Chain A
Amino acid sequence: DADVTQTPRNRITKTGKRIMLECSQTKGHDRMYWYRQDPGLGLQLIYYSFDVKDINKGEISDGYSVSRQAQAKFSLSLESAIPNQTALYFCATSDLPGTGLDTQYFGPGTRLTVL
């Protein structure tokens, strides 16, 4: 089974709709991240969380909100979707610095299209 899972994998919605993307992990990591990826722009950080009570905005948080329901679950919401939020969204996890390999583990991605 995959260590980091995302649902849904694909979603098409209309402008103005509220959308929730979900991420679950079995790696036991405290740190979780949401990124969006657009062609030519690389991975841009939306929000990150270091534990259930610690949530931080990334570089492009406007129009998004998150919820860390448990150590293993981190959800991303688009309160009122707009077409320029059409992108590929990745959830990632990482361990505490210095406890192991300082890398991120990515989910399979959610392709979101806003019409």
Chain B
Amino acid sequence: EDKVVQSPLSLVVHEGDTVTLNCSYEVTNFRSLLWYKQEKKAPTFLFMLTSSGIEKKSGRLSSILDKKELFSILNITATQTGDSAVYLCAGNTGNQFYFGTGTSLTVIP
């Protein structure tokens, strides 16, 4: 059974902290790993990862994939209150996207 597991389920940090969100996957015919940010609306795309060890960066956010150990991490440095959201990861087979339950991040001023 294909599955994606995220940890922790929730996280509360202070502004300026650095956080690491984890995503492990067991997806048959794996093609790519995607990260989304979901505030009180639809998920919005952050990163797509297909190759091991190559870091993707966007501002204070970065992500990397390990295809040998079947996991990915999303790092957020110097967190801001606007980073408060649910972060979803998904394993993509090319036909289907398997989502984790998400990590709820709350950044306190």
9 smallest A-B Cβ distances: which pairs?
A: A97-B94, A106-B42, A42-B101, A43-B99, A42-B99, A103-B45, A102-B32, A106-B43, A108-B42
Residue interface bits B41-53, CB-to-A below 8 A is 1, else 0: 1111100101000
Contact status B45-A40, CB under 8 Å: no
Knowing A102-B94, A106-B43, the reply to whether A42 touches B31 (Cβ < 8 A) is: no
Instruction: Identify the A interface with B (CB < 8 A).
Output: 33, 35, 40-45, 48, 50, 58, 90, 94, 97-98, 101-109
**Which residue of chain B has the shortest Cβ distance to A58 in the bound complex?**
B96
- Asked if A102 and B92 make an inter-chain contact with CB atoms under 8 angstroms apart, the answer reads yes
A103–B48 CB distance below 8 A? yes
Chain A facing B: main interface SS: strand
Q: Report the bound CA distance from A30 to B48 in whole Å.
A: 20
A90 and B12 CA atoms in complex are apart in Å by 27
Q: Decide: A102 and B96 in contact? CB cutoff 8 A.
A: no
Q: How large is the interface on B (under 10, 10 to 19, 20 to 34, 35 or more residues)?
A: 20 to 34
CA A101 – CA B97 in complex, angstroms?
A: 14
Assembly CA distance A72 to B31 (angstroms): 26
Taking CB as reference atom, which chain A residue is nearest B46? A103
Is residue B34 within 8 Å, beta carbon to beta carbon, of the partner chain? yes
CA distance A106 to B94 in the complex (A): 17
A103 touches B34 (CB 8 A): yes
In the complex, the chain B residue whose C-beta lies closest to that of A103 is: B45
Determine the chain A residues whose CB is within 8 A of the CB of B88 once the complex forms. Answer: 42-43
Q: Which residues of chain A are within 8 angstroms of B32 by Cβ–Cβ distance? A: 102
Give the one of B45, B88, B92, B97 with max A CB within 10 A: B97
- Chain B contacts with A in 1-29, Cβ cutoff 8 A: 9
Residues of A within 8 A of B100 (CB): 42
Given contacts A43-B99, A102-B32, A90 and B94 within 8 Å (CB-CB):
no
Q: What would be 8 A-B contacts, judged by CB atoms less than 8 Å apart?
A: A40-B101, A41-B101, A42-B99, A101-B45, A102-B94, A105-B45, A107-B42, A109-B41
